[in-house]
Amino acid sequence: MTPTDLIFDPALIDGVGGRDVVARGAGQASLLDDIRLNGWTVPQVKAPFPYMDEPYETRPDEWIRDDYPGIYGGDHGPTAGALNATSTALGAFLRFVTPQLLEKIAGECNDYFEENLDTRVEAEHTKQQARKQKRPDFQPQTPQQIKTNLQKTPEISGRDLCIFIGLLIARTIAPNKGKFAHHWKTSDEGAIPRGCFGNFMKRKHGCSRYYRPGWKLRPVIDALEVTFQRNFIPPPVMAFDDAVLPSTSPFNRMQTFMKDKPHRWGTKLFMLCCSEFAYCIRFEVYCGKHQNHEGSTPPDTKSVPAAVVRNLRQVFGPTGPSDFRLIVTDRFYTSVVLSMQLLALNFYSVGTAMTNKKGLCSAILPKKNKNVRKESNKRPAWVPRGTFHIAEMLQVPRIKFARWWDYQGVFVLATGGSTALDRTVRRDPTTGEQVVVMCPRFVKDYQTFMGGVDVHDQLRLQR
């Protein structure tokens, strides 16, 4: 019997067909309906007074081990090799973008040039013929002459590509456009010859266009997924959320719209980040529901929650880690099925939840009026700010569901964590001033650890 078997009621394990079924997230809809109506304790109401009148007691140093029993307590953070590589900027860059990757991309750029050589010859010949009509004294070249001249173009090497990327990064940080052309002078040692910038931009390709979605960036994506994970030991607490790489190009077939992000148009990523350092341990590019290449994961009935488990298994293996970790998610991912699935894989979880998720306690969810509309989620004037209703799942007591009254009702689902009273700092919506508000301790854990992915969104604004 494993430690996770002790967390679940044996009747629940037998009812779904075993622990492996829970780990796959294959719960039955009828079971979730029964949990929603009969699977929770009677909700308890906690008011902020007299607790808020008492002196605040800080948490002990080992609070996380008390609130989340069995959580990982070993070394975590950058590996020794990663720290040694970051002694120089070039070493840090080549630690993630390896020389092998640069050589591969350079080879694909050269192959792309050869594949499209005839097309470019035809386009150049057409352009010269049009110029001949405007300027009768102009002597156009024959297609063979144009092809011969294009074939003299030197091939791109991995070193050239590294310099090319380095110059782009340098000018992104310090955009001194007046001296930008000086970098392409042939007289400087190690410089790229004049005129190569446009040549590189025309030929940049990562792999064959017939490969799979994201074909231009696929080698870069595959390499970074490996190097990001290899250079960092996963910590006890991680945040999972989506992010957007800004892009408004009409040629980006993976472009999505996300209204709540600083950059609303771009390529969507699923990111698993360290909650302490905001380091991206793993990311996955969202290619769309119908853009599945050979060997990829097909569309899942759980959609976005499936991405959480899929990426965690890539990092920790199909059976999960030996010690527990805490995963923090937002409302688009959190659900009862996902919470039980993560718990079976040795992951605690905490996150805000949407009220339409199956299995949530019906006694806490907003009631429907006679016109089939849900009641307003705005906090009533007679309810003190910080009040919360909380219930525990009968068959899995580690799972807790609460409705915490901030300015509006906030629904939080957690496995593990403490229900003890604590305090958090919020902003008053009318004055903007900071206000200390009571909350259950696992809600404070969510607010403390959720910002790992949001840091990347803010960094992308500083361009």
CA–CA gap between residue 319 and residue 297 (Å, rounded): 18
Angle at 148 between CA 144 and CA 152, to 5 degrees: 165
- Say yes or no: 266 and 367 in one domain: yes
> What is the amino acid identity at position 52?
M
- Please tell me whether the peptide bond between 397 and the residue prior to it is cis, using omega within 30 degrees of 0: no
324 in Cβ contact with 347 (< 8 Å): yes
- Say yes or no: 181 and 247 in one domain: no
Quick one: DSSP state of residue 207?
S
- Say yes or no: 67 and 135 in one domain: no
CA–CA gap between residue 333 and residue 226 (Å, rounded): 24
The H helix count followed by the E strand count for the chain is 17, 14
CA–CA gap between residue 245 and residue 284 (Å, rounded): 12
- Say yes or no: 247 and 354 in one domain: yes
Q: What is the pLDDT of residue 391?
A: 95
- Say yes or no: 452 and 372 in one domain: yes
- Say yes or no: 97 and 198 in one domain: yes
- Say yes or no: 24 and 159 in one domain: no
394 in Cβ contact with 10 (< 8 Å): no
Domain boundary pick from 203, 218, 245: 203
Residue 319 lies in a domain: yes
Nearest to 331 by CA among 229, 248, 418, 408: 408
Residue 417 lies in a domain: yes
339 in Cβ contact with 364 (< 8 Å): no
The domain in which residue 110 lies consists of 89-203
272 in Cβ contact with 280 (< 8 Å): yes
Q: What is the pLDDT of residue 4?
A: 54
Residue 325 lies in a domain: yes
Residue 396 lies in a domain: yes
433 in Cβ contact with 444 (< 8 Å): no
Residue 195 lies in a domain: yes
- Say yes or no: 451 and 323 in one domain: yes
- Say yes or no: 239 and 197 in one domain: no
Phi, psi of 60 (to 5 degrees): -70, 165
CA–CA gap between residue 50 and residue 54 (Å, rounded): 7
Residue 264 lies in a domain: yes
Residue 215 lies in a domain: no
CA–CA gap between residue 253 and residue 98 (Å, rounded): 27
- Say yes or no: 63 and 163 in one domain: no
Domain boundary pick from 185, 203, 221: 203
Quick one: DSSP state of residue 434?
E
- Say yes or no: 118 and 63 in one domain: no
Domains identified in the chain, total number: 2
Q: What is the pLDDT of residue 419?
A: 92
- Say yes or no: 430 and 298 in one domain: yes
The ranges of the chain with pLDDT < 50 are: 1-2, 189, 206, 290-302
Residue 17 lies in a domain: yes
3-state SS class at 268 = strand
275 in Cβ contact with 451 (< 8 Å): yes
192 in Cβ contact with 164 (< 8 Å): yes
Domain boundary pick from 181, 203, 225: 203
CA–CA gap between residue 412 and residue 329 (Å, rounded): 10
β-sheet bridge partners, residue 159: none
